[in-house]
Structures are given as structure tokens and as C-alpha cells.
Structure 1
Amino acid sequence: MSGPGLLVFVTMLLAPLALTAILSLNVFNGMEGIQNVYSLKNYLEIFSDSYYLEIFGRTALMSAIVTVLCVVLGVPETIIISRMRGRWRGVFLLIILAPLLISVVVRTLGWSILMGNNGLINKGLMLFNIIDEPLRLAFTMTGVTIAMVHVMVPFMVISVWASLQKLDPQVENAGLSLGASQRTVFRRVVLPQLLPGILSGSIIVFALSASAFATPALLGGRRLKVVATAAYDEFLNTLNWPLGAAIAVVLLVANIIIIVGCNRWIERRFKSVFEG
């Protein structure tokens, strides 16, 4: 019964990844194009060139910041919404999930207008005398991070919401009735049950942030490159497809290593805390 699904998975995902990995080993010549010669030259160039190392470092930093902010904002939002009455719960849940219903290009262009020197954000801050001159938000890491958090928070909310639906309110009430404080009940009863949702949401947010293209490209511009935009430039501007494929493969492998490593580390840390 799983044969058709496995076939689709292999055809639509594993086969393109395998072809990309093979392409990344081809040697590229500026005059003759892609050569039928295989080498690790592209990977050596990525790991030996400070330009690419800086891009990977910037991407990792941005993804980590976005993930932390989504946890800080998304978890309390989900808990608050889950305790609202039915009508208001649906309204606020729709508001939070609204960014997913809008095209990424339209959403990013909207943020670029808001963050401009004459945008609504700067005008509002200057109107209340919070700042004396416009803040530079567009084409900066701060602006890209804000826009990324806006679209990634819904993924965190969805993941934590799924865990909250399995939470029995009577267990929390039992802890309170036995004399535990709200903080202790949350730390020892609620948080351990939310942890799988937080971890899965963090993995989704980090992976999507690290591979995001449209938002960093439109808000970051040419000067603030991330891995996805660097691979795009290699494919379409310099036409160095093997180097672009190598960048994509390194991003995929780095994503897997970071996600699996952080997942295991966090699970061990929380397990030791809760058991202690």
C-alpha cells in the first residue's frame, strides 16, 4: 500500500536531489561551460573562500534569530488563543495565520514599503518623537529578520497548537489544587507537553528560514546575500550551475546536521531539567 507514495517520494524528491549532487561535482569552465569531469573543486572553493563562509554564517545567524523570536512570540500567543472563547479564538487564529494566505512577493513588497525611509514605521516613530531621523530598516539584517518572523510565526503556532490540543486541562488544575504555583505548573506540567510542538516548530522555522529566497532577495538586496540568493546568482547570473548546485547541497547537509544536533541536545537538556 505504501508503494505508490514511496514511488512519488523517490521521483519528486530523491531523484532531483541526486541529480543536483552529481551536478555539483562537475567542473565548470567559463569559456566552455559544464565539463564532463568530476571533482571536489566546487566544495573546496566554498569552504576556502571567506565570501561564501560569510554568507553561510549570515544565513545561520538569521535563521537562529528568527527561530528564537518565533518561539518567544509564538508559544505565548498559542497559549493565550487556546484559552479564548470559541468565537474570538477563531478570529485571532485567522489573523495569525493570515500571512500564509498572501503571496510571498506581495507580502515582502508590503514590508519594503513599510520599512522605507518614508514608510509608515518611520513616519509613526517620528510622529511620536521616538526618533529624530528615519531608521534604516530596508536592506538590513534587522528588516529581513522582522519580515521573516512575520511569516514564520504561523508555523510555530500551528506546531504548538497541535500539542496544546492533546493537553488535558484537568492535569493543570490538579497541579494547582495540590498547592503548586502557576509558574511551577507551567514548567513541570504544561511545558513538557508543549516541548514536542516547540521542537517541531523550531525545526520547520529554521529550515524554511535558512532556505528562504524571496524575502531576503527583495528586502536584503544585492549587498545582504544569504545562501539561497547566492545559489540563485550562480545559476542565473554567472551560469556556474555546478557551483550553485554545490552551494545548495552544502545548505541541505548543514540544515540536516544543525537540526538533528540541536534537536538531540535540547531533548537531553530538557530531560535532565525536568527529571532533576
Structure 2
Amino acid sequence: MRDATLEAGTARPVDHPVAAHPLPTPWRAHLPMWLLGAPAFALFAALLLAPLAMTLVLTFYRFDPSSGPIAAFQFGNYVNVLGSPYYQTIFLRTFGIAAITTILCVAIGAPEAYVLSKMRDPWRSAFLLVILAPLLVSVVVRAFGWSMLLGTAGIVNQLFGAFGMGPFKLEYTTFAIVIALVHVMLPFMVIPVWTALQKLDPQTEHAALSLMASPATTLRRIVLPQIMPGILSGSLMVFGLSASAFAIPGLLGGRRLKVAATAVYDEFLGSLNWPLGATIALLLLAANLIIMLTYYRMLERRYGRSMG
């Protein structure tokens, strides 16, 4: 484009500065998209994919008690784990504990997050700090704390003794593992649900109540469908972390109540059977992913319309 300007009584065309000097194209625009993500993918592959591939290869090795792992391609480790009632019981116990922990965290964490969303400062900040406090302490310290509470001479049994009951065997039981896991995993449920509640318009609740809907109906038809993404993400995190937990089942379950993570530890560092330990770890990962994906699909299909 050219602008006509009058200079000294004559029409003189002047070049438009934008047309005369176009902006240079950034050098990043000429690179392929995959090349921009190559550094992040290389880091991901080095820290996660490569160890997983090495673990997968190790599962096909054969174990000799005198010489250790021997390179071979055989499925004997998978047959031993999948066909053994001992390991089947361990996996059922692992996922049973994870499922119970997830259900309890949903039943406790979702109402707790709803009450937290209704609070105002400074009470909300104080209670949020209380909820996040378990994350500030080591898992081992928390497990030892529950061991002192639930032991034969612990505070809980002392309280029962004051009423003429007990002592009860609370430590080294499934009950102890579940209680400690709920204490550890509860923040992972409260925070996603509370975040989902922050996006909820309070006027929708007021509108439902003004249209003569009961509080229970409002919670079920208005609030619950909108916080389902938070419940879904929180339950997936709780289930995955509970199924792969090691410190709490190891300290509160003892040698008798083994889970998959403690079985992997025993095979790697106890009997030094690395191929069998790698097989248990890989099957735990695969089963965990299958259960979590199935659970996600079921909830997505059921609440797809209400979640948009």
C-alpha cells in the first residue's frame, strides 16, 4: 500500500513502513513439531521407559540359586506367579485393600471437601492445613505412629482397657493397613474434589432449592454430577498409590500379611530372585492399569452426559 501525502505542493507517494519491512518469521516455526518435544521425550524415555523395558526383559530370565539370573527366553516366572494360589492371594489382598481404602477415602473425603468449600477464611485455611499436614510427614514416620497407637500396649488398647475390654490384636492386621492408608491417602481425594467444587456456581444450588428441591436432591442432581471429575481423579490416585504402597503394609502388616509390593521386595532383596520379583512388579503394574482404565471407562460412560 502507498499513502498519498502532500509535500511542497506536490503529491508524493510514501511507502508504508509495515509493507516495506515485514516481521521476520521465528526460527522455531521452521522446526518439525516432534523435534520440539524431543528433549522432554528423551528424558521421559531415560527415566521411565528404559527401566520398564529392562524390567520386562528380566522377567524372561531364569533363576539359578547358585549363580543368580541366567539370560533365557522362557515364561516360567509368569506361570509360577499366575498359577500359584500363594501369589493369587497376595494380589487379591493387594487390590482388596486398595479398593477398601478408595471407598473410605471417597466416603470421607468428598463430604469433607464439600464442607471445606463452604468455609470462609481463616477457618478454611486452617482446616486445609490440617488436611495437608499428613503430606508434610514421612510415610515411615506415620506408619510408626500408627504402630504405636494400634499396638498391644498402645493408646487404643489402653482406652479399651479403661472400659474393661481388650486388649485387641489391632497391629499386623488388614484393619491397621487400611486405617493407615486412609490417613495417608485422604488428601489426594480431598484436594481434587475441593478443586472441582471451586468451579461450581453456587447460584445453581440456590436455584434448585428455590424450585422446592430438597437438599438431598440438590446434592444428588446438581452437586454430585459436577464434582464427579474430582472424585474420579482422586479415586484413581488413591487406588493406584494404595495398590503400590510398600512402607505402610510392610510395617503394619508384618511378615504374614504380604502385599504385592512387599513380595517384590522379598524376592529382590531376600531370596535374590530378581526375575521373579520383576515378574510380580510388572504384573502389578499391568493389573493396576487395567483396573484403573476399566473403572475410568465405567464412570465416564455412566456420568458422560452430566459431566458434559
Identity of aligned residues (%): 53
Structure 2 counterpart of 1:184, one-letter code? T
The structure in which a higher percent of residues are helix is: 1
Secondary structure, counterpart of 2:168 in structure 1:
coil
Q: 1:175 aligns with which of 208, 213, 225?
A: 208
> 1:16 is matched with which residue?
51
Q: Which 5+ residue runs of structure 1 have no aligned equivalent?
A: none
Alignment correspondent of 1:228: 261
Alignment of 1:5-154 (within 5 A): 5-127=40-162, 129=163, 132-154=165-187
Please report how far the alpha carbon of residue 97 of structure 1 lies from its aligned counterpart in structure 2 after TM superposition.
1.1
Structure-1 residue corresponding to 2:20: none
Give the structure with higher Rg (CA): 2
Alpha carbons 2:160, 2:166 under 8 Å: kept: no
Shift, 1:191, TM fit:
0.4
Deviation at 1:63, TM superposition (A): 0.4
RMSD of aligned residue pairs (Cα, Å): 1.4
- 1:172 is displaced (CA, Å) by 1.3
Q: CA deviation at 1:126?
A: 2.7
Give the Cα separation in 2 of the matches to 1:271 and 1:132.
Answer: 50
Query: What is the SS of the residue equivalent to 1:244?
Result: helix
**Which residue, out of 227, 236, 239, partners 1:206?**
239
Taking the aligned partners of 2:182 and 2:233, their CA distance within structure 1 comes to: 16
Q: Structure 1 CA distance, aligned partners of 2:134 and 2:254?
A: 22
Residues 33-88 of structure 1, C-alpha deviations (whole Å, 9 max, x = no match): 11111111101100111110000000010000000000000000010011111101
Quote the Cα distance in structure 2 between the aligned partners of 1:18 and 1:171: 50
Partner SS for 1:222 = coil
Q: For residue 271 of structure 1, report the CA deviation from its aligned partner.
A: 4.7
Once superposed, which parts of structure 1, at least 4 consecutive aligned residues long, lie more than 3 Å away?
269-272
Extract unaligned runs of 5+ from structure 2. 1-35
- TM-score scaled by structure 2? 0.85
Q: Would you say the 8 A contact 2:113–2:190 is kept in 1?
A: yes
Please identify, of 263-272 and 45-54, the stretch whose mean Cα deviation from structure 2 is larger: 263-272
Residue in structure 2 matched with residue 162 of structure 1 by the alignment:
195
3-state secondary structure, aligned to 1:86: coil
Count of residue correspondences: 272
The aligned amino acid for 2:79 is L
TM-score of the pair, normalised by structure 1: 0.95
Q: Is 1:188 aligned to residue 218 of structure 2?
A: no
Checking the alignment, whether the CA contact within 8 Å between 2:267 and 2:277 is kept in structure 1 is yes
